[in-house]
Amino acid sequence: MLLNDEVQMLKRVPLFAGVSPAKLKLLAFTSDRVNFAAGEVLFRQGETGDAAYVILSGKAEILVETSGGEFKLADVELNSIVGEIAILCDVTRTATIRAVTPLDALRIRKEHFLKLLTDFPEMTIEVMRVLADRLSRTTTELIKQRDLAHHA
């Protein structure tokens, strides 16, 4: 794929909406385009996080390991970013991401991701919004599961 096509794809990612085309070109150039087959895992819960992934095409799911086994938390939406928590918080991966369909992603290495956040404070705000939204959805889901368990 041509660099300009990747820049057009990155522009569709809400996280990068405020980033200039020149910086997006640099990001596309310094990132790796990766493909996953259906059923393949992008990364596993508990692993060290060295990169974030932007989903360019295809579908993925977020899974967490619980004492009761694997639990599907949510679907990953197109043009969204996954794996940034381990980078930002310096913790191991908080969930497993598995491709549901063949999937295309852009793998952004930790140092490039952190540099982008330094260069673009508005991107940092968007990351915070995404994380807060995800936390809110996860909390709601966990409350639902707890309530189901109590009524079972």
* Count of C-beta atoms within a 10 Å radius of residue 66: 9
Q: How is the chain split into domains, by residue range?
A: 3-151
Angle between helices 3-11 and 21-30 (to 10 degrees): 120
In DSSP terms, which residues pair with 48 in a beta bridge? 92
Q: Are 71 and 103 in contact (CB under 8 A)?
A: no
Q: Could you give the CA distance from residue 88 to residue 114 in angstroms, rounded to a whole number?
A: 8
Q: Could you give the CA distance from residue 92 to residue 9 in angstroms, rounded to a whole number?
A: 28
pLDDT tens-place string over residues 97-114: 999 999 999 999 999 888
Q: Could you give the CA distance from residue 26 to residue 16 in angstroms, rounded to a whole number?
A: 13
Q: Are 107 and 97 in contact (CB under 8 A)?
A: no
Domain covering 3-151: architecture: Sandwich (2.60)
Determine which of 38-52, 78-92, 133-147 has the lowest per-residue pLDDT on average: 133-147
DSSP one-letter code for 16? G
Task: Name the more confident of 64 and 138.
Answer: 64
Mean pLDDT of 51-64: 93
pLDDT of the residue at 2 = 64
Q: Are 71 and 98 in contact (CB under 8 A)?
A: no
In DSSP terms, which residues pair with 69 in a beta bridge? 66
Q: Could you give the CA distance from residue 152 to residue 139 in angstroms, rounded to a whole number?
A: 20
pLDDT tens-place string over residues 119-134: 888 788 888 888 888 8
* Count of C-beta atoms within a 10 Å radius of residue 65: 13
Q: Could you give the CA distance from residue 67 to residue 71 in angstroms, rounded to a whole number?
A: 10
Q: Are 56 and 79 in contact (CB under 8 A)?
A: yes
